[in-house]
Structure 1
Amino acid sequence: MRIKWFSLVRITGVLLVLTYHFFQAKFTGGFIGVDVFFTFSGFLITALMVDEFAESNQFRLLAFYGRRFYRIVPPLFLAVILVLPMTVLVDHDFVTNIGWQVAAALGFTTNYFEIATGGSYETKFIPHLFVHTWSLAVEMHFYLLWGLTASLVAKMSRYRSASADEALVQFRKLLITLATLLATGSFLAMNLGAVGLTDFSPVYFSSVTHSFPFFIGCVLGILSGIRYQLTAFKWVSQHCPRNVAIGLMILSFSGLVILGDRLKFDRLQTYQQGLLAATLLAACMIYGARLLHDQTPTISEPRWMTFLADISYSVYLFHWPLYVIFSHRMSNWVAAILTTGVSIGLSALSYYVLEPVIAGKPVHIFQCNVNWKKLRLPTMVAIVLLGVNGESVVKAAPPVSTLEQNLWISGIRQDVNLIQSTHTAILANTGPVTTAGEKTKVHVPTGVSIIGDSVTLGTRDYLGQHVANSTIDAEGDRTMNLADQVLIAQQRNHRLRQDVVICIGTNALDGYRVQIMKLIDALAPGHRLIFMTPYNAQAQSDWNSSKLAVFEWTLPAKYKYVTIADWEKVAGQHPAVFAGTDGVHFGGVHAGDVLYAQVINQALKVARTKPCK
């Protein structure tokens, strides 16, 4: 039994995700499309479980796993082997560690692989081609757990009941209790686990913290059902006006779009309220579609709607790696359009031809019957050729990207320099003491102290050679409050030089104003302060990094010893420096090294015409 208008739920989910990936800087919360899919999967799977138990007084676990396998694995395998040859279109860095990515995708462990490797859709480095399969991992974990749970509950219900009707009641009661407990536990784990995080990927990717949408869908599936509804829900389905059902779907859809526009991946409220709100709206939309199905017995879904719904899963699989590849070869709009077209074509091939053939079902293509016997030879040849190509791509893939390698080497050299400078400072401060037993007054050393984040770390070697008499302390993911700690530590150890350059801001937190003022207050007399404005090619005016740059420009008027180095402006004038990067880092790109050093040196010239603090 196919429920009409469920297609709109699937289409909504895939549209939210595609819009987020294509226009991440503008539609910042579209990742909730995944929660729409999760909620719908929980609803549909559990409603079908109830139907099966109502009809046969049992639940066939192996048959359930088999259906999930044939629906999930073939298009995933097809996506992997078709994408790998296309990596020739992009820089070699894009296949970094590709073997582990493929293994994680096919082994349904991508979510924990991404947690372990620091992956994210909003990664600061080269995006993983199969990062999006994290959701398949969570979904597969749900199917394994919930299928086994339903099987055990079915056996228990039969054992404890005297009749089939009583067993069905027991089956529903036990499932809804377990689903409610699991949904509550998962949501609380996300809500509490997100506290104190600056990178929310661990709670977003985890099967433990992000499975509550499935179980909320399960509760709805048990209550409203498909064939076998509870009496109260059956009465509502029979008496609910059509316009009410339509209105519920429209309001739910509108709410999801608003959330997609407002939520941000790096905000705590997204994980404490936002994802739950998206899940509840998805549940309302699902129930609205369920009601509308019963109110439109003579109306059929448009063919385009069922087509898009049928291929939505495969479109999700294909679109991300294709978009990553295309977007680094052409403009974003062209890449988005091409990605959508190619994804739909490959998804239709997978859903209407390959998947049914693999499952042993006949296929009709242009009035011709196609079966496995006819497709066996060309399919096997294609798989072998693609497999050989994929193996060569995996073997040739570098273990780390050029940018990551550059950062690691720079970090090691920085640690060596820090040890040497600390040793020198210790020797310098063991000199004569006064009669009172105190050390002689330590003067502020001349030169430049640069305190930066991963952008600075990536160009550290070049800076050290082209910013005279400078020391550099840079670290990935450093925020302004951490820069304050570095500054204080260097002052305490008498290593902070006269001109202090703060190259922090891309990872700006909400309290950036307070953090900057604490840093200014902590700066001892005898120093000048230079703030380097942050640059992110994707940043919008409401991003913290953008607002921080605006605030930094107000400081020189209040503090004569403060100067601004306008990296934001200069970097924006040279987009070629960031070609093929994340729009923030340029480590290893010589032109970027040169520009970065020039901006700092120009600001130092201006700063040295001003007084010290």
Structure 2
Amino acid sequence: MRIKWFSFIRIVGLISVLTYHFYRNSYPGGFIGVDVFFTFSGFLITALMIDEFARSNRFCLLAFYRRRFYRIVPPLVISILVVVPLTYLVSPDYITGLGKQITAALGFVTNYFEILSGGSYETKFIPHLFIHTWSLAVEMHFYLVWGLIAFLIAKIIGKKQNEDGATRVANFKIAIFLLSMVFLVASATLMAVKSRGLTDYSPVYFDSLTHLFPFFLGAAVATLTGIKSISRPFEGLIRHTNRWLIVALMALSFAGIFALGFKMDFDSRATYTGGILLASILASLAIVLARMLHDHTPNIDEPKWATFIAATSYSMYLYHWPLFVIFSQVTNTNLAVALTIAVGLPCSALSYYVIEPAIAGKETKMDDRLLHSKALKGLLVLVTILLVAVTGYTVKKAPNLTQLENRLWLGGLEQSKDQMSTYKDVMVDAHIVSVNGYTPVDKIPAGVSIIGDSVTAGARDYLLSHIPDSTVDAQANRSMDLAYTTIIAAQKNHVLRKNVVLCIGTNAHNGSEQQLMRLINDLEPGHHLILMTPYDRRANPTWNSSKFADFERATAPHYDFISLTDWQKLAGEHPEVFNGTDGVHFVGRQSGNIIYTQAIDEGLAAAKDKPVKK
């Protein structure tokens, strides 16, 4: 039994996710579209389980797993084979660790692969092409566990021969509802608890244990409404509700979901202590209303365009992210969106209407004569062989590290060597003073200490050769609290130079401003402090990095020993430096090295006319 109007729920989820990925700055909370899908999947799967039990007094687990396999795996494999050849349009950085990515996707463990590899859903500098399959992993984990639980419940209740069919169905629903609510509360609570104290919420967002509750909310709703096997109270509610009231409430629920997409923030704890749950509740409301509207519109057909978009939504979800990542590296965002849809939609339709049914042994929408022609079969086999060969070759030649990661690794080795040499000189000087009986003089070394993050690390060699008497201490993912620790340690070891350049802020989080003020207070007399604002092409004014840059601009004028150099402004005037990059790093480009060094030189020039800290 196909329920009309369910298509619009899928469409709302798809639009939310696609808009979020295409225009993240304008629609920062669109990731809740995934939770719309999760809630709907939990509802649909559980409702079908109830219908099967009501019809046959049993639930066939193997048949359930088989249906899920044919619905999920073939489109996933096809999308991977189609996408990989397109990676030759972009930098080899985008296929780094490709074999691991594909293995994780096909093994339905992408969510834990990203957690273990330190992947971030929002701020991955070189985004994994298949990071979006984290949601398939969570979904598959739900199917495996929930299917087994439903099978066991059906087995136990189905054996009670002293009960009539209606009683057994009612007991099955009750058991499913109670377990759904237990798992719902446990998972939502775990997400709220584990999100406490985090600065990057990706681990709690990816984790199946913390993100399964939308499925169980949908499952609980299924026991109250159902598809074929509906309860009497729900039947009564349908009879006593006006069609137009249902339409109005359904529109309001969709509006609520879209409004949340504008208000929610991935980096806000409120998202994990109720925001995602609220989105799932609105999705559940829309599901119930769509089910009611189905019975109120017996003579009205669902628009064919809506049915088409809903039917291809899963495949389109698979295609959109890797296609957009690739196309956005070779053109502007709007054209990349158009190309993503132009390529993804036909591939999705071909997958859903032709290839998937053929693999599952079902009827397709194509002319059977064409489908079974030897010429077409031969062509499909040839194309498949070529795609598999290209994918295999690409996986084999994929680098293990991006250019940036390789540069950071080599730079880290050189930096460690330089630091050892510096500390050796300090120890030798201290020993000479001790042997000769001199009175130690607390002297601050002349020159420049540049303290930075991965952007600074990428430009390290150029900085050392073009800024006289300088040292560079840079580390990937360095935040303000880590920078504070580094500077204070150098200060205690008497290796912190007179001019301290702080190139931090891309990894800013809540509390970074307080850490900067702490540094300003604890920096010893005799130093200049040069603040360099962070730049991230993707950031809007609400991002922590943008807020930190504003705070630096506002703070510097209040201290005579602090100067400011506006890398955010200077980098924004040279967008060509970041073409084809993540919008933060210029990956060793000479033009990027030049303007980055220029920014530091401007800060040092401004510091010359200012006194040191007293």
TM-score (normalised: structure 2): 0.96
Q: Which amino acid is the alignment partner of residue 129 of structure 1?
A: L
Post-superposition offset of 1:310: 0.5
Q: Tell me the residue number matched to 1:319.
A: 320
Residues in 2 aligned to 1:362 and 1:549: alpha-carbon distance in whole angstroms: 59
Counterparts in 2 of 1:434 and 1:387: CA distance versus 1, 3 Å:
closer
Counterparts in 2 of 1:124 and 1:161: CA distance versus 1, 3 Å:
same
| Cα pair 1:484 1:522 within 8 Å, conserved | no
Aligned residues: 612
| Cα pair 2:238 2:295 within 8 Å, conserved | yes
Post-superposition offset of 1:561: 1.0
Q: Tell me the residue number matched to 1:584.
A: 584
Q: Tell me the residue number matched to 1:218.
A: 219
Q: Tell me the residue number matched to 2:120.
A: 120
Report the 3-state secondary structure (helix = DSSP H, G, I; strand = E; otherwise coil) of the residue aligned with 1:531. strand
Q: Which amino acid is the alignment partner of residue 230 of structure 2?
A: Q
Q: Tell me the residue number matched to 1:492.
A: 492
Q: Tell me the residue number matched to 1:381.
A: 382
Report the 3-state secondary structure (helix = DSSP H, G, I; strand = E; otherwise coil) of the residue aligned with 1:495. coil
Q: Percent identity?
A: 50
Q: Which amino acid is the alignment partner of residue 563 of structure 1?
A: S
Q: Tell me the residue number matched to 1:456.
A: 456
Q: Tell me the residue number matched to 2:445.
A: 445
Post-superposition offset of 1:320: 0.9
Q: Which amino acid is the alignment partner of residue 469 of structure 2?
A: N
Q: Tell me the residue number matched to 1:194.
A: 195
Greater Cα shift, 156-165 or 293-302: 156-165
Greater Cα shift, 154-163 or 388-397: 154-163
- Does residue 74 in structure 1 map to residue 74 in structure 2? yes
Report the 3-state secondary structure (helix = DSSP H, G, I; strand = E; otherwise coil) of the residue aligned with 1:506. coil
| Cα pair 1:448 1:469 within 8 Å, conserved | yes
Report the 3-state secondary structure (helix = DSSP H, G, I; strand = E; otherwise coil) of the residue aligned with 2:473. strand
Residues in 1 aligned to 2:216 and 2:376: alpha-carbon distance in whole angstroms: 40
1:266-415 map, 5 Å? 266-365=267-366, 370-371=371-372, 375-415=376-416
Post-superposition offset of 1:440: 2.7
Q: What CA RMSD, in Å, does the superposition of the two structures yield over aligned residues? A: 1.9
| Cα pair 2:449 2:500 within 8 Å, conserved | yes
The superposition leaves residues 286-330 of structure 1 with CA deviations (integer Å, 9 ceiling, x where unpaired) of: 111112112212111011111111100010011111111111111
Counterparts in 2 of 1:496 and 1:168: CA distance versus 1, 3 Å:
same
| Cα pair 2:454 2:477 within 8 Å, conserved | yes
Post-superposition offset of 1:368: 5.9
Residues in 2 aligned to 1:575 and 1:176: alpha-carbon distance in whole angstroms: 55
Q: Which amino acid is the alignment partner of residue 213 of structure 1?
A: P
Greater Cα shift, 363-372 or 10-19: 363-372
| Cα pair 1:362 1:369 within 8 Å, conserved | no
Greater Cα shift, 31-40 or 164-173: 164-173
Residues in 2 aligned to 1:306 and 1:438: alpha-carbon distance in whole angstroms: 87
TM-score (normalised: structure 1): 0.96
Residues in 1 aligned to 2:255 and 2:459: alpha-carbon distance in whole angstroms: 46
Report the 3-state secondary structure (helix = DSSP H, G, I; strand = E; otherwise coil) of the residue aligned with 1:471. strand
The superposition leaves residues 569-592 of structure 1 with CA deviations (integer Å, 9 ceiling, x where unpaired) of: 111111121111110112322221
Q: Tell me the residue number matched to 1:110.
A: 110
Q: Which amino acid is the alignment partner of residue 211 of structure 1?
A: L
Residues in 1 aligned to 2:143 and 2:375: alpha-carbon distance in whole angstroms: 33
Greater Cα shift, 83-92 or 416-425: 416-425
The superposition leaves residues 253-288 of structure 1 with CA deviations (integer Å, 9 ceiling, x where unpaired) of: 111111111222222221122111111111111111
Residues in 2 aligned to 1:569 and 1:49: alpha-carbon distance in whole angstroms: 58
Greater Cα shift, 363-372 or 406-415: 363-372
Report the 3-state secondary structure (helix = DSSP H, G, I; strand = E; otherwise coil) of the residue aligned with 1:44. helix
Post-superposition offset of 1:373: 7.3
Post-superposition offset of 1:431: 5.0
Consecutive unaligned residues in structure 2, runs of 5 or more:
none
The superposition leaves residues 198-222 of structure 1 with CA deviations (integer Å, 9 ceiling, x where unpaired) of: 2211111111111111111110111
Q: Tell me the residue number matched to 1:254.
A: 255
Residues in 2 aligned to 1:31 and 1:474: alpha-carbon distance in whole angstroms: 33
Residues in 2 aligned to 1:66 and 1:555: alpha-carbon distance in whole angstroms: 62
Post-superposition offset of 1:430: 3.9
Q: Tell me the residue number matched to 1:469.
A: 469
The superposition leaves residues 40-65 of structure 1 with CA deviations (integer Å, 9 ceiling, x where unpaired) of: 00000000100100111000111111
Consecutive unaligned residues in structure 1, runs of 5 or more:
none
Residues in 2 aligned to 1:485 and 1:283: alpha-carbon distance in whole angstroms: 48
- Does residue 208 in structure 1 map to residue 209 in structure 2? yes
Residues in 1 aligned to 2:210 and 2:373: alpha-carbon distance in whole angstroms: 41
Report the 3-state secondary structure (helix = DSSP H, G, I; strand = E; otherwise coil) of the residue aligned with 2:143. helix
Post-superposition offset of 1:173: 1.6
| Cα pair 1:29 1:264 within 8 Å, conserved | yes
Counterparts in 2 of 1:312 and 1:474: CA distance versus 1, 3 Å:
same
1:557-572 map, 5 Å? 557-572=557-572
Counterparts in 2 of 1:477 and 1:73: CA distance versus 1, 3 Å:
same
Post-superposition offset of 1:166: 2.4
